[in-house]
């Protein structure tokens, strides 16, 4: 698949957010693999300090440096960076104030934690700034070092505040290096080269947070990307059986006869009752998914569906999800 066949031709910074528990780190990692396929070089950035990327790629905890964690189909490379707020702040002090040695002394005294606690906007500028620098970085030949950067960003409830760093630093600095740095970050974040993607499950709360998050980003003029529906449960029963199960019309006697025909004689009635209850729950979940799909369809954004992996999430599962994303034109 060529770049022009994808929904995100020209996008170089993919910010991935989602309500906690929706699997945003998994989706970010799968997207990075998908974008790297075919010989590209992609950086996957983690900003929350959870080492989730290392766990997904079955790698040791990541230091504060960019390291290759996977080879994508077709020979591309995925590099990863877990941004350490303290190290990034020391870098920041050295870059703009030539205070690296003083910064290390501040770190030992605990002042770094104090500064980022009383001025959380500065912390966000540091984290987004490190990522945007990776987007802009070039080789000696003038080409971009990375074809794309994927950020595993904070959850949906904090994403607008996290990305809208100009507002966050307005009370900290009107002029000077902090202000200039924030302006540079915002040029990247607001550009057509950036897309903020939302990860959701087909459940009421995650879908509502996705819709609210998209509305908030749109209101402040930040670029909305796509909606990634994660862990969809495919229906395993025919539509007519689902309808009967949802309405409580399943024939218990017929189910019991089927259980006995399968060779289960002991407690056949109890097993049949359990199966009927599971069918009813499956019908309820299927109906819920259909309703939430209808809500998501009202959003004028590309939508991608990732299946629930029966064997759980491992490295092979990541490659499977990456292939699904490429098949749907996400990369």
Largest CA distance in the chain: 80
Q: Is 331's pLDDT higher than 60?
A: yes
Range of weakest confidence among 20-29, 153-162, 304-313: 304-313
Residue 152 buriedness (CB in 10 A; 0-12 / 13-18 / 19+): buried
Q: Which backbone phi and psi does 199 adopt, to 5 degrees? A: -105, 135
Evaluate the CA torsion angle 265, 266, 272, 274 in order and state its sign.
Answer: negative
Range of weakest confidence among 91-100, 105-114, 136-145: 105-114
Name the pLDDT band for 116 (thresholds 50, 70, 90): low
CB distance 66 to 103 below 8 Å: no
Q: Which of 97-101, 189-193, 265-269, 309-313 has the highest mean pLDDT?
A: 189-193
Render pLDDT for 220-264 as a digit per residue (tens, 0 to 9): 999 999 999 999 988 888 888 888 888 888 887 888 888 888 888
Rounded to an integer, what is the distance from CA 227 to the centroid of its chain? Answer: 10
Our CA dihedral for 147, 50, 90, 195, rounded to 10 degrees, sits at 30
H-helix or E-strand spanning residue 31: helix 24-36
CB distance 152 to 53 below 8 Å: yes
- pLDDT for the residue 3: 39
Q: Is 102's pLDDT higher than 80?
A: no
Name the pLDDT band for 2 (thresholds 50, 70, 90): very low
HSE value, Cβ hemisphere, 13 Å, CA-based, for 59 = 18
DSSP 173-200: -SSSHHHHHHHHHHHHHTSTTEEEEEEE
- pLDDT for the residue 176: 63
* Residue 67, token pair as written in the block: 């390291």
Tell me the CA distances in angstroms from 139 to 9, 133, 134, 258, one per residue in order.
Answer: 21, 13, 11, 67
Instruction: Quote the pTM value.
Output: 0.86
Higher pLDDT, 107 or 74: 74
Which residue's structure tokens are 């200039």? 180
CB distance 129 to 169 below 8 Å: no
Percent of the chain with pLDDT over 70: 85
């Amino acid at each position: 698949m060529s770049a022009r066949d994808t929904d995100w031709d020209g996008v170089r910074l993919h910010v991935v957010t989602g309500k906690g528990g929706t699997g945003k780190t998994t989706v970010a990692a799968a997207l990075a693999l998908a974008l790297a396929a075919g010989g590209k070089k992609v950086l996957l950035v983690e900003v929350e300090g959870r080492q989730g990327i290392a766990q997904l790629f079955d790698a040791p905890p990541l230091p504060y440096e960019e390291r290759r964690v996977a080879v994508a189909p077709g020979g591309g490379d995925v590099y990863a960076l877990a941004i350490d707020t303290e190290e990034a702040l020391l870098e920041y002090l050295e870059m703009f104030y030539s205070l690296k040695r003083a910064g290390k002394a501040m770190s030992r005294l605990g002042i770094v934690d104090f500064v980022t606690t009383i001025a959380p906007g500065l912390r966000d500028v540091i984290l987004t700034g490190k990522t945007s620098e990776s987007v802009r970085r070039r080789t000696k030949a003038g080409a971009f070092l990375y074809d794309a950067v994927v950020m595993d960003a904070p959850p949906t409830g904090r994403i607008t505040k996290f990305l809208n760093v100009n507002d966050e630093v307005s009370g900290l600095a009107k002029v000077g290096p902090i202000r200039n740095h924030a302006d540079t970050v915002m040029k990247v974040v607001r550009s057509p080269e950036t897309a903020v993607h939302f990860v959701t499950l087909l459940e009421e709360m995650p879908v509502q947070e996705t819709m609210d998050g998209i509305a908030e980003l749109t209101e402040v003029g930040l670029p909305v990307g796509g909606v990634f529906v994660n862990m969809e449960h495919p229906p395993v029963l025919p539509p007519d059986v689902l309808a009967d199960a949802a309405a409580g019309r399943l024939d218990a006697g017929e189910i019991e006869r089927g259980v006995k025909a399968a060779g289960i004689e002991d407690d056949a009635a109890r097993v049949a009752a359990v199966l009927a209850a599971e069918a009813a729950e499956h019908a309820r979940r299927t109906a819920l998914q259909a309703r939430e799909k209808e809500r998501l369809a009202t959003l004028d954004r590309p939508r991608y569906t990732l299946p629930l992996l029966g064997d759980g999430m491992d490295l092979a599962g990541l490659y499977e999800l990456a292939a699904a994303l490429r098949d749907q034109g996400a990369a």
